[in-house]
Homo-oligomer: A and B are copies of this chain.
């Protein structure tokens, strides 16, 4: 039995999937660090160790298509870490404090370079393509749902939970930006305290 052709095609498919994944992850990292405008498709190829032809093979739509895919990747990755961190505490008020602390730690580890999420990127890029705009709006909606599920499990009514979840995410986003500007975890620590106080006023 000669398995070589199939094995080769599986290996090829795996290599292709690996290359595609590497391009997406590299794009996500560069977008988070430098923004959309400052990230070039040649730089993406170079840092992902992929030929430019390979980048266009996977993403014929170029930087816009690639950025939308990178945003979806960041969305999933971020939602997963958000859920995991919130799950470390039963009480949602404490969970939000824990989450604010983890954002502060991540930012400090990156020497205040990475964005907490990607609203800033959104601002730069959202008006460039409907696909990116949609990926960004979906991500915002997704994260808000993760937080509102947590709040509802603690007995907060659906409408209140949805609105609170929006403010939790927006406050942490704004506090994360301030933390980067002043290079201190203080804005995130204070945001955690205030958000837990706000959440408690609903429970």
Contacts from A to B (Cβ < 8 Å) = 34-35, 37-38, 113, 115, 119-120, 122-124, 126-127, 133, 136-137, 140, 163-164, 166-167, 169-175, 177-178, 180-182, 186-187, 190-191, 193-194, 197-198, 201
Task: Compute how far the CA of A133 lies from the CA of B113 in the bound complex, rounded to whole angstroms.
Answer: 13
A-B contact pairs, 9 of them (CB 8 A): A37-B37, A120-B123, A133-B181, A136-B181, A167-B190, A167-B194, A170-B171, A194-B198, A197-B201
Copies of this chain present in the complex amount to: 2
Q: Which residues of B contact A38 (CB under 8 A)?
A: 37, 124
Indicate which residue in B136, B172, B178 contacts A169 across the interface (CB closer than 8 Å).
B178
CB distance from A18 to the nearest CB of B (A): 31
Contact A120 B124 (CB under 8 A): yes
Q: B34, B187, B201: which contacts A170 (Cβ < 8 A)?
A: B187
Other-chain residue from B35, B171, B190 in contact with A163 (beta carbon distance below 8 A): B190
Residues A190 and B174 in contact, CB atoms below 8 Å apart: no
How far is A34 from B37 in the complex, measured between Cα atoms in Å? 9
Neighbouring B residues of A137 by C-beta, 8 Å: 181-182
Contact A190 B166 (CB under 8 A): yes
- Give every chain B residue within 8 A of A201 (Cβ-Cβ): 197, 201
A3 to chain B, nearest CB (A): 50
A34 to B126, CA, bound (A): 11
Taking a contact as CB atoms under 8 Å apart, the answer to whether A175 and B170 are in contact is yes
Considering only CB atoms, which chain B residue lies closest to A194 in the complex? B167
Known: A35-B35, A122-B177, A133-B181. 19 other contacts (CB 8 A): A37-B38, A113-B127, A119-B181, A120-B123, A122-B180, A123-B181, A124-B124, A140-B178, A163-B190, A170-B171, A170-B175, A171-B171, A171-B174, A171-B191, A173-B173, A173-B177, A174-B175, A194-B198, A197-B201
